[in-house]
Each structure stands twice: as structure tokens, then as C-alpha cells.
């Protein structure tokens, strides 16, 4: 499994480089797709305006979800160290990143999980002002760590592909820790949750989706976040599922950090 470990490192480095480029190339988004059926996220379709109103695009080339009116939950590998940080622009309220009705807000502080990079791939970005968009509840029980999940993002539509102008969504089935371990030796079972099509691949998050939420309906029919896009070997490859920070595990730490930031 060491070669996969190495590949993971390479992937993360590549993403960091892409993220840095994204800060300047953030506006060079792909032209609108010729039809609505092109696969994106990987293997998904376009999301409707307002369908996932808490989705956030971060200017370093990551996704996120509104946790409170001033805090965006994202991945630790998307941000720098904890402290004052006005470098990030968050875009929300739209599926089209060039929509004139979009809301853009600057960050003023970043809290990166102190456990990162030993797992703990979550962070909170504090915005310089509150925004009036809905928030996405984070699962604080493992009850929803199963079944079919939805993922969404503006990341690559195919492995190695460019970032997207329009938000895409896809459905990914839960993959057990034991099966995920067959793919990745370094999985942290209690803190990471895997999803994808084991046999065939074809649907997954990909570079640029990092930090965005993986979510499903709870027993009351409300969306609840079960994961944060973290890593994978390539994108949508068979037997190489996507790996997500497991929010049911981190919910208390996220809530404590959020309380401190408010
Ligand atoms: N680390 C990637 C990013 O920064 C996300 C990779 C997700 N990969 C996957 N196969 N699900 O955007």
C-alpha cells in the first residue's frame, strides 16, 4: 500500500498547486456545457438553482458548506494555518459562479483542525460578515453514516479535468470501512467515511470538490452533512472510492471551534 500512500501525497500536492493557481485562475472557468447531460463532479448532472443553497465555492479552488451565517465548513487541506486570513473569497447563493446575483464575501479568519494532517481534514473559514443563506446541519450521530449520499461541487468533471462554472451533483453509495481498507491501507475508520461505486467506479468527487459536503436526508427529511470531501486515488476509478472526513465523529470538535469563533 506504500505506493498508494505515495500517490495520495502526490495527489494532495497537485491539488495544493491547483488551489494556488485557482486563486488567480478562479475566473477562468470552463464555458457552459453544450448540454445538460455531461458528467460532472464525476458522473453527475447540473444542480438546480436553490437546490443546495448552503453550497459555497472558495477562491483557492475548494468547496464548502455554510455551517452558520458566518462560518463555512471546509477541508483542512484547503486552507493555511489557524489565524487571521483575509485571502479567501467565498461565493454562495448561486449554481453559476458568474451569476450577477451571486454573493461574495471575504474571509477574516481560518480555524484549521489541530489534528491535521494526521487525518482531521476539516476547517472553518470565518467570513467578514454574516450572509443570509441557509445552513447545512452536520450529522452528530452515526445513524446517517450509511445508504445513498449526494455530493456536489464545482470541481473536475473527469480525472485531470478543469474546474466547472456550474454546480454539479451526483449520488454515491456508502462503502464500508472494511471494503475501503481494501483500497487504502491508511484509512482511519472511525474518522473517515468512503463512498463510490466499488465495482464500476464512474461517480465520485474530484479535484476542486474538496471541502464540499457529502449529505443525505435525515429521518425528518432534512439534509444532513455526513462527510467533507477529502481525498481519493484518482477520481471515479473502480475499487478506489472517495474518502470523506466523517462529520459524525468531528461534530463536537467543529461545534466547539465554532463557538470560539463567534
Ligand atoms: N483532494 C481533492 C481536492 O482537493 C479531492 C479529491 C477527492 N477525490 C476523490 N476521488 N473523491 O479537491
**pLDDT digits 0-9 by tens, 73-90:** 999 999 999 999 999 999
pLDDT of residue 14: 38
Backbone phi and psi for residue 18, each to the nearest 5 degrees, phi listed first: -65, -35
pTM: 0.86
Within 13 A of 259's CA, how many CA atoms are on the CB side?
A: 6
- Assess whether 99 carries a catalytic annotation: no
Rounded to 10 degrees, the C-alpha dihedral 44/166/24/203 comes to 0
Segments in the chain below pLDDT 50 = 1-39
- Assess whether 77 carries a catalytic annotation: yes
Query: Ligand 1: residues whose CB is within 6 Å?
Result: 15, 155, 204-210, 229, 231-232, 235, 242
114 vs 102: CA distance, rounded Å: 32
pLDDT of residue 41: 84
The rounded Å distance from CA 8 to ligand 1 centre is 10
Q: Find where cell 500536492 sits.
A: 13
Angle 202-146-9 from CA coordinates, rounded to 5°: 55
The rounded Å distance from CA 31 to ligand 1 centre is 22
Ligand 1 nearest atom to the CA of residue 19, by list position: 4
**What are 30-67's pLDDT values in tens digits?**
333 334 333 458 999 999 999 999 999 999 999 999 99
The residue whose C-alpha atom lies closest to atom 1 belonging to ligand 1 is 231
244 vs 205: CA distance, rounded Å: 10
- Assess whether 145 carries a catalytic annotation: no
Q: Find where cell 459536503 sits.
A: 213
The rounded Å distance from CA 34 to ligand 1 centre is 25
113 vs 245: CA distance, rounded Å: 12
Which of 59, 107, 113, 121 does the annotation list as catalytic?
A: 121
pLDDT of residue 262: 86
Amino acid at each position: 500500500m506504500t505506493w498508494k500512500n505515495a500517490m495520495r501525497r502526490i495527489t494532495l500536492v497537485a491539488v495544493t498547486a491547483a488551489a494556488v493557481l485557482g486563486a488567480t485562475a478562479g475566473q477562468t472557468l470552463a464555458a457552459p456545457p453544450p448540454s445538460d447531460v455531461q458528467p460532472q463532479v464525476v458522473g453527475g448532472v447540473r444542480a438546480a438553482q436553490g437546490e443546495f443553497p448552503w453550497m459555497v465555492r472558495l477562491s483557492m479552488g475548494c468547496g464548502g458548506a455554510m455551517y452558520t451565517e458566518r462560518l463555512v465548513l471546509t477541508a483542512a487541506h484547503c486552507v493555511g494555518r489557524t489565524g487571521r486570513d483575509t485571502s479567501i473569497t467565498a461565493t454562495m447563493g448561486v449554481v453559476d459562479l458568474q451569476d450577477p446575483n451571486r454573493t461574495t464575501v471575504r474571509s477574516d479568519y481560518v480555524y484549521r483542525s489541530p489534528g491535521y494532517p494526521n487525518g482531521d481534514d476539516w476547517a472553518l473559514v470565518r467570513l467578514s460578515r454574516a450572509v443570509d443563506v441557509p445552513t447545512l446541519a452536520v450529522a452528530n450521530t452515526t445513524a446517517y453514516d450509511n445508504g445513498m449520499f449526494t455530493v456536489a461541487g464545482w470541481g473536475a468533471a473527469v480525472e485531470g479535468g478543469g474546474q466547472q462554472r456550474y454546480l454539479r451533483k451526483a449520488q454515491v453509495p456508502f462503502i464500508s470501512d472494511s471494503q475501503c481498507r481494501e483500497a487504502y491501507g491508511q484509512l482511519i475508520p472511525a474518522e473517515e467515511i468512503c463512498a463510490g461505486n466499488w465495482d464500476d467506479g464512474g461517480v465520485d468527487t474530484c479535484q476542486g470538490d474538496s471541502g464540499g459536503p457529502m449529505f443525505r436526508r435525515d429521518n425528518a427529511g432534512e439534509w444532513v452533512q455526513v462527510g467533507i470531501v477529502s481525498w481519493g486515488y484518482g477520481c471515479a476509478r473502480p475499487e478506489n472510492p472517495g474518502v470523506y472526513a466523517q462529520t459524525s465523529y468531528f461534530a463536537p470538535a467543529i461545534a466547539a471551534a465554532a463557538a470560539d469563533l463567534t
